[in-house]
């Protein structure tokens, strides 16, 4: 997790209602009280719902989408308070991109991201120092961080001539990066980097995997020199669950069906898919397909279930790729009890679970984010 401060937490500001009184509230009571608090606050609050959120909180979202889109929506709103139904790095991005007078809030501070946590600033700094033993990284390597990363890593990219990418613009961002330096250090998700690089024509052998727990990433000097993309050894635990065998078995039963996967899935899964793209791309592709189409979808379960229900009336079949239930456990931490607690405190004039990125860190992160917006 980055150095962004969490102010205040569950013990929170003087006079705030403690969370303990909400922990055992029945869900239906929470939902009615959330609605009442939201009505009382009116335009003073905006609720952002990431696609992977559970429906019982997602229904309160004023805006839905991916993390970057949501943060930009919030910054353009009149709201004083931004309540992010997502995970920690998303609330950081909202704080970085919002106006100074806006306050970013994460209902449950334990809602992190295991992938984002696989790349930390100390580990990336050590990688940069070790790369300097083989080449001059500040002249030869562009650091690229997936938006699914902590604010301090976005700041690292801002400071070192690097940039941020999303799953939808990763190809354009790599083009931008290679136009400036010959190599890319891509973190934290190896799969997005590998799948994007391969689609750009970069051979697999020129994309090497940096293991931050090994000296020199477990690579030889020659491997580093020959590499076009140095991929961080990180991954999404949800998308890691999808396998080629699941696709093969499904195609045997649905020969006319289509397979669509998020690029955080493995290289083998993406190669066997008919379509590969971001959550927004997946939604649009399924929505635009003909009635009666059959889909196997490789992304988070809550989104897949939402698509299945949304397009059922059109005769479309939308099926989750994994054979076992596999949702993002950290996304699922945002429950009605936490949202009710946050909303009623706001209605009573108390801010709890504020996410604040230190100004210098936010300034450098904005540099990397603005480079991305300009490039894409």
DSSP 18: P
Average pLDDT over residues 239-266: 97
Domain boundary among 176, 210, 236: 236
11 with 85, same domain: the answer is yes
26 DSSP β-pair partners: none
List the domain range (segments joined by +) for residue 139. 116-236
Comparing C-alpha atoms, which of 266, 200, 214 is closest to residue 223? 214
Provide the token pair at 201: 């024509």
Would residue 363 count as lying in a domain? no
Per the prediction, the chain carries an average pLDDT of 93
Domain holding 306: CATH number? 3.40.50.10800
The per-residue pLDDT for range 114-126, each reduced to its tens digit, is 899 999 999 999 9
Domain boundary among 178, 205, 236: 236
Rounded Cα distance between 355 and 119, Å, is 20
- Please say if the pLDDT value at position 328 is more than 90: no
174 with 98, same domain: the answer is no
Q: Which residue has the tokens 């490789």?
A: 298
181 with 87, same domain: the answer is no
Q: Which residue has the tokens 């704080």?
A: 95
pLDDT over 70 percentage in the chain: 94
Would residue 302 count as lying in a domain? yes
Would residue 219 count as lying in a domain? yes
Domain holding 227: CATH number? 3.40.50
CA 71 to chain centre: 12
96 with 28, same domain: the answer is yes
- Please say if the pLDDT value at position 193 is more than 60: yes
97 with 11, same domain: the answer is yes
220 DSSP β-pair partners: none
DSSP 16: P
Helices (H), the chain: 27-41, 55-58, 67-75, 88-97, 114-117, 121-131, 137-140, 151-159, 170-178, 190-199, 221-226, 244-253, 267-272, 279-288, 301-310, 336-347, 359-375
Provide the token pair at 371: 């480079």
Rounded Cα distance between 352 and 298, Å, is 35
227 with 123, same domain: the answer is yes
CA distances from 53 to 39, 194, 220, 332, 375 (A): 21, 27, 42, 6, 29
pLDDT score for 8: 37
- Please say if the pLDDT value at position 147 is more than 50: yes
- Please say if the pLDDT value at position 9 is more than 80: no
Percentages of the chain per state (helix, strand, coil), in multiples of 5: 45, 15, 35
Query: CB neighbours of 310 closer than 8 A, spacing ≥ 6?
Result: none
Would residue 364 count as lying in a domain? no
219 with 142, same domain: the answer is yes
Q: Tell me the CB-side half-sphere exposure of residue 124, using CA atoms within 13 A.
A: 29
Q: In what order do the strands lie in the sheet with 317-320?
A: 275-276, 258-261, 294-298, 317-320
69 with 92, same domain: the answer is yes
Comparing C-alpha atoms, which of 48, 55, 88 is closest to residue 71? 48
Q: Which residue has the tokens 């493995």?
A: 266
Rounded Cα distance between 349 and 224, Å, is 54
What is the tally of structural domains in the chain? 3
Comparing C-alpha atoms, which of 64, 103, 71, 170 is closest to residue 352? 103
Would residue 304 count as lying in a domain? yes
214 with 150, same domain: the answer is yes
**Relative orientation angle of helices 88-97 and 151-159, to the nearest 10 degrees:** 50
212 with 292, same domain: the answer is no
The per-residue pLDDT for range 219-248, each reduced to its tens digit, is 999 999 999 999 999 999 889 999 999 999
**Is 316:294 a contact under the CB 8 Å cutoff?**
yes
The pTM of the full predicted model, rounded to 2 decimals, is 0.92
């Amino acid at each position: 997790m980055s150095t962004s401060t969490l102010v205040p937490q569950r013990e929170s500001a003087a006079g705030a209602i403690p969370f303990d009184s909400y922990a055992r509230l029945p869900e239906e009571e929470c939902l009615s009280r959330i609605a009442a608090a939201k009505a009382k606050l009116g335009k003073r609050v905006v609720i952002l719902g990431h696609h992977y959120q559970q429906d019982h909180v997602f229904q309160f979202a004023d805006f839905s989408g991916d993390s970057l889109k949501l943060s930009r929506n919030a910054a353009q709103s009149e709201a004083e308070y931004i309540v992010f139904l997502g995970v920690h790095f998303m609330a950081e991005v909202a704080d970085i991109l919002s106006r100074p007078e806006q306050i970013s809030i994460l209902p449950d501070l334990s809602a992190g991201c295991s992938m984002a946590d696989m790349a930390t600033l100390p580990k990336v700094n050590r990688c940069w120092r070790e790369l300097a033993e083989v080449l001059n990284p500040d002249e030869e390597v562009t650091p690229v961080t997936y938006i699914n990363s902590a604010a301090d890593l976005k700041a690292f990219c801002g400071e070192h001539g690097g940039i941020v990418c999303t799953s939808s613009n990763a190809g354009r961002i790599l083009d931008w990066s290679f136009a400036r330096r010959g190599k890319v250090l891509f973190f934290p998700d190896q799969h997005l980097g590998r799948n994007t690089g391969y689609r750009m024509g970069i051979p697999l052998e020129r994309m090497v995997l940096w293991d931050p727990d090994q000296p020199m990433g477990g690579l030889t000097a020659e491997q580093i020199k020959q590499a076009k993309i140095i991929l961080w050894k990180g991954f999404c635990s949800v998308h890691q669950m999808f396998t080629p065998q699941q696709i093969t078995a499904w195609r045997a039963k649905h020969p006319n069906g289509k397979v669509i996967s998020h690029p955080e899935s493995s290289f083998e899964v993406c190669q066997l898919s008919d379509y590969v793209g971001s959550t927004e791309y997946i939604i649009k592709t399924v929505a635009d397909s003909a009635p009666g189409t059959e889909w196997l979808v490789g992304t988070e379960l809550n989104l897949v279930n939402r698509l299945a229900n949304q397009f059922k009336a059109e005769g479309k079949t939308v099926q989750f790729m994994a054979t076992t239930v596999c949702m993002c456990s950290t996304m699922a931490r945002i429950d009605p009890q936490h949202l009710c607690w946050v909303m009623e405190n706001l209605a009573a004039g108390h801010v709890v679970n504020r996410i604040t990125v230190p100004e210098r860190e936010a300034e450098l992160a904005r540099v990397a984010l603005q480079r991305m917006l300009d490039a894409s």
